[in-house]
Chains A and B, each alone.
Chain A
Amino acid sequence: MIPHPQRLLHFFSQCRRRALSLLRRRRLHREMEEEMRFHLEMQIEQNLDAGMTTEEARYAARRQFGNQTWLKEASREMWSLNWIETLVQDVRYGARMLWKNPGFSGVAILTLALGVGANTAMFSAVDAALIRPLPYLDADRLVMIWDEMSHIGFPKHYSTPPEWLEWRRSNTVFTDIAATQPLKAILSGMGEPEEIPARKVTANVWTVLGVQPLLGRVFNEDEDAHGVRVAVLSHAMWRRRFGGSPDVIGRSISLNDSAYEVIGVMPQAFYFMPGRDIELWIPTSFSAEMLTQFSWHDVQCVARLKPGVTLQQTRESMAALSLRVSAPHVDVPRSAVVTPLREELTGKTRTSLIVLLGASASVLLISCVNLANLLMSRWAARRHETAVRAALGAGRKRLVAQFLTESLMLSGFGSIAGLALAIPLMRFLETLVPETMGAIRLTLDWRVLAFSAGVAIASGLAFGLAPALGWSRRALQEGLRDGGRGALGPSKPWFQHALIVLETALAVVLLTNGGLLLQSFEHLRRLDLGIRRDNLLTFETPLLRYKKFEQSVLFVNAVLEKVRAIPGVVSAGAISNLPLTEIAQTTRYALPGQTGSETRTQDALSRVVTRDYFVTVGARLREGRFFDGSDQRTNSPAAIVNESFADRNFPGRSALGERFKFGWLEEKAYSYTIVGVLKEIRERGVAEDLKPVIYRLHEQADQTGNRPSGVIIRASVNPSSLAPAVQQAIWSLDKNQPVTRIRTLEEIVDRQLSGPSQSSALLSAFALLALLLAALGLYGVLSASVTQRANEIGVRMALGATSNKILFSFGMRGLKLTLFGLVLGLGLAIITTRLMTPLLYGFEPNYLPIAAASSLILLTTAMAACFIPARRASSVDPLVVLRNE
């Protein structure tokens, strides 16, 4: 309904008048007084004319005039914007009240600060990880495409260059598809050689993502097709290595000993695949041969959906297309899986962040409940004053408004304090997010601040309204009547008790879930990794400069010899991928007599090692032997497999002496003989599944396999102290050889455990906080109840009840509330643990000890909380109390 324009104008001029009147209050005030004076004088004159004496005239006029104060008030109310004046009044009154009770105010503000601060920090993490827009155009239309290879245990697998090409050519659902491959990039010629995180990308990735460079330009299809050596830098790299100077464009840098021209720099907010730490992008420049390799799985595809196409349509279309494309080239035609890009970048942390957000919300809820109870008790103590104000004309609405103002002020201060608390918490949370997110920055941007403000206001209203609404008229009357002696609770104690039960239940839920997480984390920490972790130093020295097989073998052996000569080194070995660090790197194998189609599910992790490797890491054998001097270069080399491989392919018998080949090399392929079966080493990571692994000696791995560029050293001293000596040793052999990622194995393990460890620590912290707050709440309510029923206690004692009986009676009441809360909480916990299972690292939770432990902790804390007020009850002196009657 469009309002009549005339009326609209009228309304606006009314508003303006009101606003103006507010501004010119003082002048209007004076004018009003003058007007009243005039009226009075006129009345006096009229009286004089009517024949009264001066005295009588004045008196009559005054009397007729009535109560001037009330008149002025009423008139004034007409003038000003009423609510602002009353608001200011309420605020000043509220501030005075808060100031006069520093203890209460302090506790309340602190409780709120904790609640609001924790929630703000958690929300900023959720926002940064899950909500904040990705730095791409229309990021919700971006997806990733994977090969569906669940037949070898990888439901989502990297795809291949020819698939990218075909998909790009033949799809009907995308505007374009881009591909990216990993790249080991060693930057040299500028001081020490450094390995930088880098990716190869197809030239259309920039348009698929919809991004523009900050400086210079990005490479185009032409350059990609012709293998032109150009590079685009990240903002961080530009600042760090080139000082942020604009003349970086056109500079030549040496990557992997080839000259590349820097043509562009990306903006600061940009990041691409998979983490935020990628610093450089070069064109993929697929060779013609590469584009026929249907088994070269290291490509990740990113695509943009066509307008109007849904994800479901895309999934169906790509599944069919992929099968068609792969069928002529592979034994097992494979389908494709399409996932939203955002999920890929943030999926791992989603559950834990949401659980933590839920936990912090529960803590806030409990604080609000406590504050509500506290306020109820305090206002009960001020009941007399409130009743008088009510009698003097303050309506119930005004009283509620007054209380709400007080509670909103409390929550206001609490949330400001909370914001201060949130900042260090956010710094801490930044370390929680896993490696794929890189250096994520949590900031107090407008969304987070709005959330914080919303939370503060909501909690202020929650704990302000609840008691205010519980204020019945009867309570007001009672307040007037007995003059405010003693502190009577509000007339509905069951409400407070229900709140206590609720917050106890919440605390129990948090305790049990925290316990679950701790339990799983403990399992994870104690897990047998298959190697002896202590005093192991690791580093990587990429062998890109030793491309020929014999060169690389000689170099590796020379490096190891040099390293062994360092004092403090017990033994040293090398492997193609350090344990715990590489999820894949697999290869197809074939057992004798198998045809192509039979091998389709046979993929194993492939690792190439030096002779001393197993001894260095402290691996154990189930049967057979390690590699030794008898294994030289030959065309029937040896292999060592792990238990998973042996159990899978040779169940129930010894695997020693069995043979296999790497399937895709056909006749030329060496036939490997198994000489040892290794007890499981967790090659893929602390929390990852075990898969079959094949280990080969590097001197025999001339046909296929990566070079052993990861060196591992067992030291007799603190391993980190050997780092400089190690670097020197290598540079004495080749001064341009990069030595990167020097870290101890313990550091690798800790890094993988850091996420889980911090999650469980955080959740446990929330749980303990919740428990503390719930206990405080219980204490507060019982305490108030004791004060309230002091008279009754006195009577009971006078009638013969012993102090022990009183103690018991109050203790029981507290216990009852706790038990209700415990039962309710355990019930709720059963539901919520369902939500927690993805966080438990694949371990089966053992509920009973956790439930028992939580119950015990809760009951002891509750007992402690009840004890003090119960003692107070039992020590009531009946004479004192009854005398006041």
Chain B
Amino acid sequence: MTEAVELAIPPSHEYLDLARMVVTTAAALDPMFPDGRVSDLRLAVSEACTNAIDAQQRLDRDESVVVRCSLAEDRVSVEIEDHGGGFTIDAVPSLPEIDDPDRMRHEHGLGVELIRSVADEVVFEEVDGGTIVRLVVFR
């Protein structure tokens, strides 16, 4: 059976903790969902929501960022939808390797890399005036 939770948050960083809490609490309803995977889910959702909020703030858009969480037997699927003008994943530059001295010049830009590292499936979809990030974490 698939159960779903939906949360709409104002585009402000102060609501990130709420988004993290709702999604991880939903995932933890399944006692078989490992704590480590819940941590991965929390990070992936937080990063995606941060990007969504930042995108909307850059455009001064005040629509809610919507987080939809679906629980299935073996996975948690989350969609994060924003009105931040769209996002081209191919345009995200990759960072130098950690042993490259240039790496220390980069204090930002790890968000997408982290999402891809901890989520099992990630899709970035540009929609009308915004982006939907779809991610899946398997049990």
The answer to whether A binds B is no
Give A contacts to B, CB under 8 Å.
none
